[in-house]
């Protein structure tokens, strides 16, 4: 099965401001929470977002370009996973506190 | 001495997305870090920002409207303080992890 690569920032290029910007959106927070709960690679279509496909794609790209998620193609499917190890090393406690906050805030 | 009040969201109206948006900016992160290190009410003019006064005022307002800081007038001075108790109660660990991250990331 072919694996195409998408561009990602290397860990040392991940910036706190970009990560916070990427997470400052309810839909992207929902994606991150879903990925955190899944703890595995997840196809975009597995995450139900009440938006058009192109809007969904945009949100995933913002997360990838900020360094929050890894995306790769496996055949025609785009798979997503949190960059938890990178983020935890760079910003200890940040991701966990944000995920916990989304859980508390959810209606 | 007169104390004029400015509008602030009440604690229950503080939203995670708004807090993350407010912090997704290097200048506003610098303000928050300064306030965290000061641990007291700080006048706007005490924090050196390499921007015009109106841009500085804008950044303080974004932080206040998101619920990150308290601002009040004391005479003609506008004083700022982190809403640490509110934020820590709503989003445990979030503020500390972000402040720690700014320290690690700072050049």
Q: What confidence category does residue A3 fall into, taking pLDDT thresholds of 50, 70 and 90?
A: low
Q: What is the pLDDT of residues A29-39, one digit of tens each?
A: 999 999 999 97
Q: Is A88 helix (H, G, I), strand (E, B) or coil?
A: helix
Give CA–CA dist A90/A10, Å, rounded. Answer: 12
- ipTM value, please give it: 0.88
**Number of Cβ pairs < 8 A linking chain A and chain B:** 70
Q: Hey, what's the torsion of the CAs at A85, A88, A94, A99, to 10 degrees?
A: 30
Q: Report how far residue B101's alpha carbon sits from residue B36's, in angstroms, rounded to the nearest whole number.
A: 13
pTM of the model: 0.90
A36: closest CA of chain B, how far (Å): 17
Q: With beta carbons under 8 A apart, name residues in chain B contacting A20.
A: 20-21, 23-24, 98
Are residues A100 and B90, on separate chains, in Cβ contact within 8 Å?
Answer: no
pLDDT classification of A4: cutoffs 50, 70, 90: low
The H-or-E segment that residue A81 falls in is strand A77-82
Identify the residue with better confidence: A89 or B5.
A89
């Amino acid at each position: 099965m072919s694996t195409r690569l998408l561009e990602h920032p290397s860990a040392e290029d991940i910036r706190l401001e970009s990560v916070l910007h990427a997470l400052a959106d309810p839909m992207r927070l929902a994606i991150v929470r879903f990925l955190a709960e899944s703890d595995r690679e997840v196809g975009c279509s597995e995450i139900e977002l009440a938006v058009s496909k192109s809007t969904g794609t945009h949100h995933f790209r913002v997360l990838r370009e900020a360094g929050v998620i890894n995306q790769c193609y496996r055949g025609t499917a785009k798979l997503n996973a949190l960059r938890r190890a990178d983020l935890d090393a760079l910003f200890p406690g940040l991701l966990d506190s944000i995920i916990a906050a989304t859980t508390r805030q959810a209606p």
